[in-house]
A and B are shown apart, each in its own frame.
Chain A
Amino acid sequence: MTGALLQVDGLTAGYGAAPVLHDVGLTVQPGEIVAVLGANGAGKTTLLRTLSGLVRSSGGRVLFDGADLAGTKVEHLVRRGIAHVPEGRGVVTELTVDENLRLGGLWRRDRADARKALDEVYELFPPLAQRRTFAGHQLSGGERQMLALGRALVGRPRLLLLDEPSLGLAPKVTGQIMALLRDLRERTGLAVLLVEQNVRSALSIADEGVVLALGRVVARNKASVLRDDADLRHAYLGF
Chain B
Amino acid sequence: MDRFIYLTFDGLSRGLVYAAFALALVLIWRAARIVNFAQGSMAVAAVYVAYSVTNATGSYWLGFVVALLAGLLLGVLVERVVMRFVDHSSPLNGVVVALGLVLVLQGTLGIIYGNEYQPVETPFSRDAFEVGGIAMLSRYDLFVFAAVGTVVVVLTLLFTRTAIGLRMRAAAFAPDVSRLLGVSVGGMLTLGWALAAAVGSLAGMLVVPTELGVHPTAMDVVFVSAFTAAVVGGLDSPIGAVVGGLIVGLLLSYVSGYIDVTVAPMAILALLVLVLLGKPGGLFSSSKARVA
Interface residues of A (CB under 8 A from B): 52, 54, 73-79, 83-84, 86, 90, 92-95, 99, 102-104, 106-107, 135, 137, 151, 155
**Cβ contacts under 8 Å, B181 to chain A:** 78, 103-104, 106-107, 151, 155
Q: Smallest CB–CB gap between B178 and chain A, Å? A: 7
Q: Which residue of A lies closest to B176 (CB)?
A: A54
Assess A90 versus B180: contact at CB under 8 Å? Given A95-B170, A99-B166, A106-B166: yes
Name the distance in Å between B175's Cβ and chain A's nearest Cβ.
Answer: 10
Q: From residue B182, how far is it (CB to closest CB) to chain A in Å? A: 3
| Residues in A neighbouring B184, C-beta threshold 8 A | 75
Evaluate contact between B177 and A95: CB separation under 8 angstroms.
no
**Bound: A126/B181 CA distance, A:** 23
Q: What's the minimum C-beta distance from B183 to chain A, rounded to whole angstroms?
A: 6
Q: How far is the CB of B63 from the nearest CB of chain A, in Å?
A: 37
- Given A93-B292, A137-B292, residue A106 in contact with residue B167 (CB < 8 A): yes
Question: A234 to chain B: closest CB distance in Å?
Answer: 36
Residue among A54, A75, A83, A90 making CB contact with B183, cutoff 8 Å: A75
Inter-chain contacts of A103 with B (CB < 8 A): 166-167, 170, 178, 181, 183
Known: A92-B174, A103-B166, A106-B166. A75 touches B289 (CB 8 A): no
Report A-chain residues with C-beta under 8 Å of the C-beta of B117.
none
B32 CB to nearest chain A CB (Å): 16
B174 to chain A: which residues have CB within 8 Å? 90, 92
The answer to the question of B251 belonging to the interface, with a C-beta cut-off of 8 Å to chain A, is: no
Among A52, A75, A104, A151, max chain B CB count under 10 A is at: A75
In this complex, the interface size class of chain B, counting residues with CB under 8 Å from chain A, is 20 to 34
Q: Is the interface of B mostly helix, strand, loop or mixed?
A: helix
Contact A75 B182 (CB under 8 A): yes
A77, B180: Cβ atoms under 8 Å? yes
Q: Within residues 268 to 292 of chain B, which ones have a CB less than 8 A from any CB in chain A?
A: 286, 289-290, 292
Q: Is A106's CB under 8 angstroms from B286's CB?
A: no
List B residues 162-199 near A (Cβ within 8 Å).
163, 166-167, 169-170, 173-174, 176-185
Contacts of A83 in B (CB 8 A): 180
Contact B166 A94 (CB under 8 A): no
Q: Which residues of B contact A93 (CB under 8 A)?
A: 173, 289-290, 292
CA distance A86 to B170 in the complex (A): 15
Which chain A residues lie closer than 8 Å to B292 at the CB level?
A: 93, 137
Give the residues from 85 to 144 in chain B that come closer than 8 angstroms, CB to CB, to chain A.
none
Residues of A within 8 A of B177 (CB): 86, 90, 92
CB-nearest residue of chain B to A154: B181
Q: Are A75 and B290 in contact (CB under 8 A)?
A: no
Q: Which residue of A lies closest to B163 (CB)?
A: A106
Question: What is the CA–CA distance of A79 and B179 in the complex, to the nearest angstrom?
Answer: 12
With a cutoff of 8 Å between Cβ atoms, the chain A residues found around residue B176 in the complex are: 54, 74, 86, 90
A205–B78 CA distance with the chains assembled, in angstroms: 51
CA distance A189 to B226 in the complex (A): 55
Which 10 residue pairs across A and B have the least CB separation, nearest first?
A: A107-B182, A137-B292, A90-B177, A78-B182, A74-B179, A75-B179, A92-B174, A94-B173, A84-B180, A92-B173
Residues of A within 8 A of B163 (CB): 102, 106
Q: Is the CB of A106 within 8 A of B182?
A: yes
- Residues from chain B with Cβ under 8 Å of A137 in the complex: 289, 292
Give min CB distance, B234 to chain A, whole Å. Answer: 14
CB distance from A49 to the nearest CB of B (A): 9
Kindly provide the distance from the CB of B109 to the nearest chain A CB, expressed in whole angstroms: 37
Chain B residues with CB below 8 A from A90, complex form: 174, 176-177, 180
What would 11 more interface pairs be, CB under 8 Å, given A92-B170, A103-B170? Answer: A54-B179, A73-B179, A74-B179, A75-B180, A92-B173, A95-B169, A95-B173, A99-B169, A102-B166, A107-B183, A155-B182
The contact of B289 among A52, A99, A104, A135, by CB within 8 Å, is A135
